Each structure stands twice: as structure tokens, then as C-alpha cells.
Structure 1
Amino acid sequence: MAAVQTRRRFGGGDLNGFLGLVVDNLSILAFLATALIGIFGFPADIVYRRMFPGTALGVLLGNLAYTWMARRLARRTGRDDVTAMPLGLDAPTSIGMALLVLGPAFLAFRQGGMDADHAAEATWQLGMASLVVMGILKFVLSFAGAWVQRSVPRAGLLGSIAGIALVLMGFLPLIEIMRVPVVGFAGLGIVLYALVARRRLPFGVPGVLAAFLVGVALYYGLGPMGLLGTGYHAPAAWQWRIGLPWPSLGFVTGLPYTVAYLPLILPFGLLMVVGGINVTESARAAGDDYPTRDILLVEALATLVAGVCGGVAQTTPYIGQPSYKAMGARSGYTLLTGLVIGLGGVFGYLSNLVELLPIAVLAPILVFVAIGITTQAFEATPLRYAAAVVFSFFPAISRMLAIKLGDPSIVDPAHYAALYGANDHGISALAVVTILGNGFIITSMVWASFVVAMIDGQIRKAAGIVLLGAVLTLFGVIHSVDPTGSVYLPWQLADGARAMVWQFTAAYAALAAVLALLSLQRESRLN
């Protein structure tokens, strides 16, 4: 009996599932650290000793809970093929937190006169508070999942997250791949061969593991010989960075800092609720019937606890449960993943792995996930709504352009004051890029939603959605004219900024009026 029980808990595919899930989480942690330390100059010690332990704790707790749920389901049904729901760090929002919230906030604190250590401390507290806010939102919405799905069209929800995936999670890591192309492109090719083309690798080696091994071999084989140019950096000495994720009230200090970032933070949480509903349905279709509310509550509480204990990136159930089931994984892989990631955050070996593994080795995994998320936005949405999905990508593209051209929250404010004043032939193009990118997630939802309503012939509903966009624009929730993207009361702005607020708000109001008039005509549709 004991042997049978062991087989049920640790299936033959658990090792493959474990490797895939660990590498996914490690890739996200690596990008988080690389972005904060390499791009924004964040102190490494804060990232590795304070942010990583709490973040990893969320992965540990969530995977332990999902492991227990899988074993409970197996006992109840008498089946030995139950596969646990995989849980890990959410890639789009984790990358979004690094590039859109934490990094810009750190530089803004520095510009405000703080030294690096105090700015890093304040940024860490902002990250904690952001997770607490998202955790509370997800907890509340876990009891209203059906209402959320009814209120926002799938094209708006999936289109907005696909926009993040395409430009932040796909394009930016692709740049990192091509910075060390010999290493990164080979790994990307293997990932595409095994996971997109679905071709079998020699000896049945999992695609993620193969790409990982080939990338490491090329990096450490060619790098010391000088064949990678400046792309190779000798690994740092191994060190134990012990960091216990103790509960802290630091998030309370960080709560006031979150106000400027609520247009990003709240949609991040909302997207995970809808994503959790979708992955639960996916698992149910694969034969494992988990209670949707339980799945949502676990990840909400994991995010909340991670935030209180110093984490800065939220957890989420992964969409690939049927894939893990197909490879033979049961509940052992989530248990092992939780322990390895959770203990790695405490004892510091995750930071050493991140330093040993260049982003060019890990980035192909992120690009593959980005492709999968973007593809799903079209596959899971009826074909007639494809235009709405595509339309929702444009605000995310604007945000990416703002990041690559020089994030407005970290560039000299005088520069943007002059930029906003250059209106001889309308608002300057770069100012439009900045304004369109601010609040881009909510903008994507609004844009896709009103296009879906028009496609369905609900013109008055479309006018109402556009009118809601006007209200959100008025207060900077979307299209904030503040370079940092913060919300405001429009009558408190300077004259030039207030004039742009009225222009963008009036644009939405004018479109709402046009749609309201069009709704009065007799229903007709072109062939």
C-alpha cells in the first residue's frame, strides 16, 4: 500500500514538471534582479536579502497548498492521475513591477534627494504595499469571479495581458537574447523546436531543460575564450545570503507610495483573478475538477503573505496544468518546486543561481511564455473579436516605447515640460507616446471592450464604455499627463497640463456622443 501511495504522489513525470516549473520561476526572478540591478542601479543586497525571500515564500506557500489540494482530490476520487495546479510568479506582472513600478520609483526617490540605500528601502516598502493591495483585491474578487468575467469581455482581459506579454515579456527579453546572440538564439531555437513546433528532442529531454543546458554550455564554454565579446562576465563568488522572510509592517509605510501606481497595481491583481478562473477551467477540462474559489483564495493569500513578508512579485496558478498532466506530473513536482524556490529565497542560493545564469540563457523561456499568452488571446477569443484584441495592444506598445526612449519618470522633468509645450502642430509625438502609455492596462481594457460592444451591435453600451474612458482620463487613471503616470485632480494642474487633460477627455466625450447618435439609426450591418 505504501508503494502505491508513493507512486500516486510522485509520478514518473514529476521530475520533468519540477524542472520546467523551477526554471520558469528562476527566469522571472533573474529578469527581476537584472532589471532592478542592471538597468536601474538598485542595490543588490536589498534585492537578494529582502525582496527574494518574501517573494519565494509566496511560491512555497502556494505550491504547498496546491499539493495538498491535489492529494485531497486524489483521495476523494480514488484516482492516482490527479495533477496539482502549478503555481509560480506571474511573468507579465512581475516584469511589469520591475520595469513600470519599482525601477522608476527608485530613480524618482533618488531624484527627490534620497541616497541609494534609503531610496531602495522606500522602493522595497512600495513593492510590499503593492503586493498587499493586490492580495486584498484578489481575495475580495475571488468571491465575485463570475461577475468579473461578465463585466469585462474576454478580448479586453486577454488582450491587455497579451499586450504586456508581447512587448514587455517578449520583446524586451528578446533584446537581451540578441545582446549575446550566440548563446540566446540557440536556446530560443531549441525552445521553439520543442515547445512551439512540438518536436521530440533526443532521449526525450524536456525542451526547457535542453535550452537551459545548451545556453549554459555555450556561455561558459565560449565566454572564457573571448568568443562572446563583452557578453561574458565571470561568475561572482558563491555566498550564502541568508534572508528570513519575517512579517513586517514596512508595507504600511509603503501604502502612500502606491497611489501613483494604482492604475498599474489594480489591473495586475484583476488580471490574476480572471487568469485563475481560466486556468481552473482548463484543469477541469483536463479531468481535474478543482473548486475555483479555493484556487483563487490560495493564490490571493499567498500574494498577501508574500507582501507582508517582503515580497514584491505576485504568484498565480499557471495556465499549463494540462501540459504538466500530459507529461505525467502528479503532485510531487509542485511540492519540490515550492521547497526549492522557498528555501532558496531563505538561504540565498537563488541569488547565486541568478548571478551564475545570464539573462540570455533564461530569456528564451520568457519569450516562449509571451508567445503562448499572446496566442491564447486569439485562440480563447472568438475570431470576430480579433480586431479588438489587436487594438488593445497599442497602449502597451506606447509604454514600451516610453521605456526604451527614456522612461519619463526618470528623465529630467524640465525636458518633459518643454516636450509638452511643443504643440505647434498638435501635441508632440513623444508626449503622446508618454500619455498613451500611462495607465496602459486599463486603457487596453477600455479600448477592447468598446470595440467588442460595437462588433456585437451594442452601440449604446460602447458609448457608455467610451464615456467611462473620459472620466478615467479626466483624473489621470488612464492617459495621465503627469510623466510619472500618477493620478490627480485636473483643476490642480498647471495650465499647459490641464489643457492636454481636457483635450484627451474631450476626445473620449466626442466619440461617446458620435456613438450615441449612431445608436439611434436603424440596425444595419455590412456584408
Structure 2
Amino acid sequence: MSTTARERWISPGDLNGFLGLVVDNLSVLAFLATALIGVFGFPADIVFLRMVPGTTFGVLLGNLAYTAMARRLARRTGRTDVTAMPLGLDAPTSIGMAFLVLGPAFLQFKQAGLDPQAAGLATWRLGMAALVIMGVLKFVLSFFGGMVQRHVPRAGLLGSIAGIALVLMGFLPLVEILKQPLVGFAGLGVVLYALVARARMPWNLPGVLVAFVVGAVLYYVLGPLGWLGAGYEPPKPWTWRFALPLPTLEWVGGMGAAVPYLPLILPFGLLMVVGGINVTESARAAGDEYRTRDILLVEALATLVAGFCGGVAQTTPYIGQPSYKAMGAGTGYTLLTGLFVGLGGVFGYLSNLVELIPLSVLAPILVFVAIGITVQAFEATPMRYAPAVVFSFFPAIARMVAIKLTDPTYVSPDHVVALFGDRAHGFSELAIINALGNGFIITSMVWASFVVAMIDGNALRAALILLLGAALSLFGVIHSVELSGGIYLPWKLDEATRQLVWQFTAAYAVLAVVLVALSLSASSRRAEAA
């Protein structure tokens, strides 16, 4: 057994890996916090003193566990080139939590009469409950990950997460880039140059870090000169914030409020289980044989503990383990990242960095990740299923349109109601778009899955999937006709609303019947020809 494998903790490659992994985590955390505070008007003290410490504590625990797993693998094999599995905040679902769950819930609590502080605390409890639900789901599914992969087509799984990436991680951050193009476009160009064109950076620095530095320098040099217009904000003074992520039962009080968001919360957890399986396979292909169940259990427990301690965003193993191995990273970079991020949430320096760094500097990193996830959906799926992947994007696009149409920064609640029409006189086109976007992750899985079944010539399986879609539509799990996207019992809705529910439900059922009829007809013709 090599003593080097046992004793060596930090290498030059670990420092590069640490810088890249920290910036990735910081980007997601900054976008989450800025969206809640800047877009929805969330109280900053609740975000930085309650949400952030628990969220980063999950990153600390997960990275420590992955470091220990890598050290154990190195000792067992006697190898010196083992690279730990990187873990961090999941970008698509964290941004989805901000725009689809936490932000809208905060506005609903305020509309119910709560002041911003009380509404923020109620939303925090909901976010904790959502994370606990995801953690429990991931823990259970970690023992059945293979079964999930067998029964849900890869086009459905990857297409649904690519849809999230395309509109929430790609389009929305791109808008932030173009709000300050002098800063954001330069950073995006560096990211594409380094990570898409694969050009080497000076001193072999990570491309993400170079883009980060270029954007920050441009922002703080051009801003005071007046070149960025009103978009420039001087740096805020450093604020001492200390908050321990202690376990609490506050999440229990958020369970009831989390129920309407289950069509989003449950798929978020499911996607991370499948993602964990995929990244384990990726690491195995790069030469590091980790047990899939161990990787998934660590991910689940890190998410669960974060939820118990106040966190609102789930952790996940990152897909780029082979890239960190190519940097020369070993087992030290995850240890450094876990300590830096976890302690940063406790002592507050991460919150200060979040306030210091504008979205136009961080957004290019998210856009690149969105491109990578979308490309992977096509590369990891056989070409004949590409139409199913594309078809699965449409519900996500509808959800993005609905988000912008109901943006509280520009649209008042009364105007939102007017936009979506008076239900007594029929539903507007925008109401239909909203219904298409509600439950979009599950809708994407259903749509891609039945198209895959048709491509495979299995009309009966396609029909069964469509009947599942009909059942989900009936109760608002997908295509909810409520503006908020909540689930319901259809017989308790008013007549005009119930009519649209029946239309969506019947559409799936009728298509199932049509497919079975076409299949039987084709079978009959083949029998006659024989």
C-alpha cells in the first residue's frame, strides 16, 4: 500500500479543484439569495441567518463524507490518483426552489395578511419541510435507483432536467448578463472560451475562476466611472453575521404549506437520485469505482440534515468528477470546499461575498452549466429519441413565460388576475400557458416517456403512460388550473374551472384510446399480410 495515498492530503491540483468547486457553489447560492431578496423582496436576515447556514452545512457534511470515501478507496486500492466525488448545491433545483416554490409562497403569505418578516419565516419553514421531504425521498430511492432508471426512460429524466436548465439556468441568467453586457458578456465569453472551446487558461487556472475575476474587475472598475449606468451598486460594508445551523423542528410547521408544491418537490428529489447514478457511472468510467448506493445515501443524508438545520436547497454530486481528475485534483479539494462553504455559512463571509458579487458576474457560470446539461440530454440519449427530448422542453418554456408574466417586480396581483382572464367567461390563452407550465417537471417526464414508447413501437405502454397523465391532470399534479399550481380535488372546484380540468384529463385518455386502436389496426394488417 502506498504511503503517499495514505498521507498526502493537498496537491496543486486540489487547489485548482477547490477554486472551481467553490465558485460553482457560490454561484448557485448567490443566485438563490439574490432572487429571493431582489426579486421577491425577501427579508435578508432570514436568508442569510436562517437559510444559508443550514444549506451550507449540507455541503460541508456531504463533502467530508465524499472525502472520507475517496481516502478509503485510495487505501484499499493503493492508488495515488483517486479523485473524490465533488458535491455542491444543485443548480437547477435550487433556482427552481427560488422561482417556483419559495418566492411564490412568500408572496402568497403576504397576500394572506402576514407582514414581510412573518411571511419570510413561514416560507423558511416551508423550504425546510420541502428539503426534508426531498431528503426522505432520496434516502428511500437510493435503495431502488436502478429500478427508477429502468422504468423511466432516459429521455424523460434528462429531458426534464434539461428543460429546467434551459429556461431557469440558461435564459433567466442570460437576461441578467444582458442587463450589464459590458460585464456579463465578457465573463460569458471567457467561460465559453475556456470550457466549450477548451482553451488553456493562464497558469492553468480553472476557466470558471478566470471568468469570475474578469467580470468582477470589469464591474468594480467600470462601475465607478459611470460606464455601467444605474446598474452599478457600490459594495456594501462587510457585515458580521454568525449563525449556527442547529437542528430544529421548525420544519414540522411548514409541512402543510408544502403540500401544494409536492408536484415540484418530489420530482426535484427524483431527478437528483438519477443524477447521482449517472455521475457515479461517470466517475467509474474515469477509473474511480465508487458504490452507487454509498454516493446516493451521502447525498440523501446531507440533504436531510440540511433541512433539519434550516436549509432550503438540496445538495448533489456534481457531474464533473472526470474534469476535476483531469485538473489533478485528489481528495483534498472536497475537504477544502466543504470547510470553506460550511464555515462560510456559519461565520457569514459567504453572505458578504454574495452581496459583493453582482449577478452579471455569476450568471455566465450558470449559463454554461445550463448548456452542458442540455447537451448531455442529447449526447446520453440515443439519437432516435431526440424528438422526445425536444418535446419535453415545451412545458418548461411555458413555466418560464408564466414566471415572467407574474413577476411581482413589474406586475401587481390584480393585473395578474386580469391577464389570466375571468374564468366565468372562459380561460385566456395565458391561463392555458400557465396550466401547461404547472407541474412541468412531471409533465416533461410523461410527454417524453410516451413518445419514447411510441418510437419503440410499444403503443400499449404509451397508452398506459398517457392514462397516468390523465390521472395526474385530474388532481392538478400536472396542468393545475390554479394560478399558484396547487393540487386539488376536482369535484370541489367551481364549474368553469372543473370544465378545463376535464378537458385536460380527457385529452390524455382519448389519445391513449387512439394509440391502442391504431396499434390494433396495424397488428391486424400485419396478420392479414402474413
TM-score of the pair, normalised by structure 2: 0.96
Aligned to 1:508: 508
Q: CA deviation at 1:3?
A: 8.2
Matched residue type, 1:504: F
Aligned to 1:221: 221
* Higher deviation after alignment, 195-204 or 155-164: 195-204
In 1, Cα distance between equivalents of 2:498 and 2:290: 50
Matched residue type, 1:468: L
In 2, Cα distance between equivalents of 1:410 and 1:467: 38
Matched residue type, 1:319: I
Aligned to 1:148: 148
Question: Deviations along 1:313-349, whole A, 9 cap, x unmatched?
Answer: 0000000000000110001000000000000000000
In 1, Cα distance between equivalents of 2:89 and 2:97: 12
In 1, Cα distance between equivalents of 2:262 and 2:458: 30
In 2, Cα distance between equivalents of 1:108 and 1:253: 16
In 1, Cα distance between equivalents of 2:412 and 2:280: 40
- The alignment partner of 1:316 has SS state of strand
Aligned to 1:330: 330
Question: Deviations along 1:141-190, whole A, 9 cap, x unmatched?
Answer: 00001110011000000000000000001100000011011000000000
Aligned to 2:314: 314
In 1, Cα distance between equivalents of 2:498 and 2:141: 35
Aligned to 2:493: 493
Q: CA deviation at 1:2?
A: 11
- The alignment partner of 1:9 has SS state of coil
- The alignment partner of 1:224 has SS state of coil
Aligned to 1:302: 302
In 2, Cα distance between equivalents of 1:141 and 1:182: 45
Question: Deviations along 1:364-387, whole A, 9 cap, x unmatched?
Answer: 110000000000000000000000
Aligned to 1:478: 478
Aligned to 2:413: 411
Matched residue type, 2:380: A
Q: Contact (CA 8 Å) 1:16, 1:206: kept in 2 or not? A: yes
Matched residue type, 1:219: Y
Aligned to 1:185: 185
In 2, Cα distance between equivalents of 1:80 and 1:8: 9
Q: 1:290 to 1:6 in 2, by over 3 A?
A: closer
Number of residue pairs matched by the alignment: 522
Q: 1:3 to 1:181 in 2, by over 3 A?
A: farther
Matched residue type, 2:394: F
In 2, Cα distance between equivalents of 1:24 and 1:422: 48
Q: Contact (CA 8 Å) 1:162, 1:393: kept in 2 or not? A: yes
Aligned to 2:366: 366
* Higher deviation after alignment, 447-456 or 6-15: 6-15
Aligned to 1:378: 378
Q: CA deviation at 1:132?
A: 0.1
Where does the alignment leave 5 or more consecutive residues of structure 2 unmatched?
none
In 2, Cα distance between equivalents of 1:489 and 1:407: 28
In 2, Cα distance between equivalents of 1:498 and 1:390: 30
Q: CA deviation at 1:407?
A: 5.2
In 2, Cα distance between equivalents of 1:76 and 1:337: 24
Matches within 5 A, 1:55-94: 55-94=55-94
In 1, Cα distance between equivalents of 2:147 and 2:473: 25
In 1, Cα distance between equivalents of 2:401 and 2:462: 29
Q: 1:2 to 1:512 in 2, by over 3 A?
A: closer
In 1, Cα distance between equivalents of 2:10 and 2:515: 58
In 1, Cα distance between equivalents of 2:462 and 2:217: 54
Matched residue type, 1:184: G
Where does the alignment leave 5 or more consecutive residues of structure 1 unmatched?
none
In 2, Cα distance between equivalents of 1:115 and 1:172: 28
1:9 is aligned to 2:9: yes
Q: 1:57 to 1:76 in 2, by over 3 A?
A: same
- The alignment partner of 2:41 has SS state of coil
Q: 1:184 to 1:3 in 2, by over 3 A?
A: farther
In 2, Cα distance between equivalents of 1:514 and 1:85: 47
Q: CA deviation at 1:422?
A: 4.5
In 1, Cα distance between equivalents of 2:350 and 2:163: 29
Matches within 5 A, 1:74-473: 74-406=74-406, 411-412=413-414, 414-415=417-418, 418-423=421-426, 427-473=427-473
Q: CA deviation at 1:12?
A: 2.5
* Higher deviation after alignment, 58-67 or 514-523: 514-523
Matched residue type, 1:484: S
Q: Contact (CA 8 Å) 2:6, 2:75: kept in 1 or not? A: no
Q: CA deviation at 1:207?
A: 0.7
Q: CA deviation at 1:415?
A: 2.9
Matched residue type, 1:195: L
Aligned to 2:18: 18
Q: CA deviation at 1:7?
A: 6.9
Matched residue type, 2:210: A
Matched residue type, 2:386: A
Q: CA deviation at 1:206?
A: 1.8
In 2, Cα distance between equivalents of 1:380 and 1:60: 30
Aligned to 1:43: 43
Matched residue type, 2:247: P
Matched residue type, 2:164: I
Question: Runs in 1 of length 4+ with deviation above 6 angstroms?
Answer: none
Q: Contact (CA 8 Å) 2:89, 2:315: kept in 1 or not? A: yes
* Higher deviation after alignment, 8-17 or 215-224: 8-17
Q: CA deviation at 1:522?
A: 2.8
In 2, Cα distance between equivalents of 1:411 and 1:322: 47
Matched residue type, 2:508: Y
Q: 1:5 to 1:466 in 2, by over 3 A?
A: closer
- C-alpha RMSD over aligned residues: 1.7
In 1, Cα distance between equivalents of 2:417 and 2:371: 39
Q: CA deviation at 1:231?
A: 1.4
Q: 1:86 to 1:493 in 2, by over 3 A?
A: same
Q: Contact (CA 8 Å) 2:419, 2:430: kept in 1 or not? A: no
Q: CA deviation at 1:411?
A: 2.8
In 1, Cα distance between equivalents of 2:7 and 2:202: 26
Q: CA deviation at 1:519?
A: 1.6
- The alignment partner of 2:12 has SS state of coil
Q: CA deviation at 1:5?
A: 5.0
In 2, Cα distance between equivalents of 1:417 and 1:339: 48
In 1, Cα distance between equivalents of 2:209 and 2:476: 44
Q: Contact (CA 8 Å) 1:419, 1:430: kept in 2 or not? A: no
Q: CA deviation at 1:418?
A: 3.2
In 1, Cα distance between equivalents of 2:215 and 2:417: 44
In 2, Cα distance between equivalents of 1:77 and 1:419: 67
Q: Contact (CA 8 Å) 1:8, 1:330: kept in 2 or not? A: no
Q: CA deviation at 1:417?
A: 6.7
Question: Deviations along 1:103-134, whole A, 9 cap, x unmatched?
Answer: 00000000001111110000000000000000
In 2, Cα distance between equivalents of 1:146 and 1:380: 17
Over the matched positions of the two proteins, sequence identity in percent amounts to 74
In 2, Cα distance between equivalents of 1:439 and 1:222: 42
